[in-house]
Amino acid sequence: MKPSFHAWPDHLAEQYERKGYWQPLTLGQHVHAWAASFSSRIALVDGAQRMSYAELDARIDRLAAGFHALGLAAGERVLVQLPNSIGFVTACFALFRLGVVPVLAMPAQRTAEIDALCQLAEPVAYLLPDRFLGFDYRQMAEQVAARHPALRLLIVDGAPGGGHLTLEGIERPAARVFTGPSHRDVALLLQSGGTTGTPKLIPRTHADYAYAARASAEICGIGPDSVTLAALPLAHNFPLCCPGLLGTLGQGGRVVLARTPGFDEAFPLIAIEGVTHTALVPALARLWASARTWNQENLSSLALLQIGGARLEPTAAADIRTALGCPIQQVFGMAEGLLCYTRLDDPDNVTLATQGRPLSPDDEVRIVDTEGREVTSGETGELLTRGPYTIRGYFRAEEVNATAFTPDGFFRSGDLVRRTTDGNLVVEGRVKDQINRGGEKIAAAEIEQHLRAHPAVRDAAVVAVPDPRLGERSCAVLIAPEDPPDLDRLHAFLRDRGLPRHKWPDQITFARSWPLTAIGKIDKKQLARQALIRQSDEPR
Whether 313 contacts 302, CB under 8 Å? no
Whether 367 contacts 313, CB under 8 Å? no
Instruction: Between 96 and 238, name the residue whose CB sits nearer to ligand J2J.
Output: 238
CA angle 70, 76, 81 (to 5 degrees): 80
Options 28, 129, 193, 387; binder of ligand J2J; rule CB under 6 A: 193
> Which residues, listed in sequence order, are joined to residue 127 by a DSSP beta bridge?
80, 155
The b-or-e profile of 326-342 (16+ CB within 10 A means b, else e) is bbbbbbbbbbbbbbbbb
* Residue 233 makes contact with ligand J2J by CB under 6 A: no
Instruction: Between 289 and 335, name the residue whose CB sits nearer to ligand J2J.
Output: 335
* Residue 199 makes contact with ligand J2J by CB under 6 A: no
Whether 269 contacts 276, CB under 8 Å? no
* Residue 331 makes contact with ligand J2J by CB under 6 A: yes
Instruction: Between 311 and 321, name the residue whose CB sits nearer to ligand J2J.
Output: 311
Instruction: Between 334 and 511, name the residue whose CB sits nearer to ligand J2J.
Output: 334
> How many positions of this chain bind ligand J2J (CB under 6 A)?
22
Least distance from ligand J2J to the Cβ atom of residue 144, Å: 23
* Residue 430 makes contact with ligand J2J by CB under 6 A: yes
What span, in angstroms and rounded, lies between the C-alpha atoms of 431 and 532?
19
> Which residues, listed in sequence order, are joined to residue 509 by a DSSP beta bridge?
477
What span, in angstroms and rounded, lies between the C-alpha atoms of 204 and 240?
12
Binders of ligand J2J in range 242-281 (CB under 6 A): 242
Options 237, 248, 360, 385; binder of ligand J2J; rule CB under 6 A: 237
Judging by DSSP bridges, how do beta strands 135-136 and 131-132 pair with one another? Answer: antiparallel
> Which residues, listed in sequence order, are joined to residue 68 by a DSSP beta bridge?
none
Options 98, 117, 213, 335; binder of ligand J2J; rule CB under 6 A: 335
Instruction: Between 67 and 394, name the residue whose CB sits nearer to ligand J2J.
Output: 394
Least distance from ligand J2J to the Cβ atom of residue 333, Å: 3
What span, in angstroms and rounded, lies between the C-alpha atoms of 451 and 461?
9
Nearest to 488 by CA among 511, 504, 510: 504
Instruction: Between 318 and 479, name the residue whose CB sits nearer to ligand J2J.
Output: 318
Q: Say how many C-beta atoms besides its own lie within 10 A of residue 459's C-beta.
A: 15
Instruction: Between 6 and 152, name the residue whose CB sits nearer to ligand J2J.
Output: 6
Options 111, 278, 330, 509; binder of ligand J2J; rule CB under 6 A: 330
* Residue 67 makes contact with ligand J2J by CB under 6 A: no
Selected range binding ligand J2J among 27-35, 235-243, 365-373, 505-513, rule: CB under 6 A: 235-243
Helix (H, G, I), strand (E, B) or coil at 343: coil
288 φ, ψ to 5°?
-60, -40
Beta carbons within 8 Å of 268's beta carbon, 6+ residues apart: 297
* Residue 195 makes contact with ligand J2J by CB under 6 A: no
Whether 274 contacts 298, CB under 8 Å? no
Site map for ligand J2J, 83-122, x if CB under 6 A?
----------------------------------------
Binders of ligand J2J in range 300-329 (CB under 6 A): 308-311
* Residue 427 makes contact with ligand J2J by CB under 6 A: yes
Q: Which helix (H) or strand (E) holds 368?
A: strand 364-368
Least distance from ligand J2J to the Cβ atom of residue 71, Å: 33
Selected range binding ligand J2J among 129-137, 217-225, 331-339, 498-506, rule: CB under 6 A: 331-339
Angle between helices 137-147 and 111-121 (to 10 degrees): 40
Instruction: Between 84 and 237, name the residue whose CB sits nearer to ligand J2J.
Output: 237
Options 413, 474, 509, 530; binder of ligand J2J; rule CB under 6 A: 413
What are all long-range contacts of 463-467, with beta carbons under 8 Å and residues at least 24 apart? Answer: 463/435, 463/524, 463/527, 463/528, 463/531, 464/434, 464/435, 464/436, 464/437, 464/528, 465/507, 465/528, 465/531, 465/532, 465/535, 466/532, 467/506
Options 16, 126, 332, 394; binder of ligand J2J; rule CB under 6 A: 332
Instruction: Between 372 and 429, name the residue whose CB sits nearer to ligand J2J.
Output: 429
* Residue 435 makes contact with ligand J2J by CB under 6 A: no
Selected range binding ligand J2J among 16-24, 234-242, 266-274, 451-459, rule: CB under 6 A: 234-242
Q: Which helix (H) or strand (E) holds 508?
A: strand 507-510
Q: Which residue is nearest to ligand J2J (CB)?
A: 333
DSSP conformation class of 155: E
Options 214, 277, 441, 473; binder of ligand J2J; rule CB under 6 A: 441
* Residue 385 makes contact with ligand J2J by CB under 6 A: no
Instruction: Between 26 and 390, name the residue whose CB sits nearer to ligand J2J.
Output: 390
Binding site for ligand J2J (CB under 6 A): 193, 237-238, 242, 308-311, 330-335, 339, 355, 413, 415, 427, 430, 436, 441
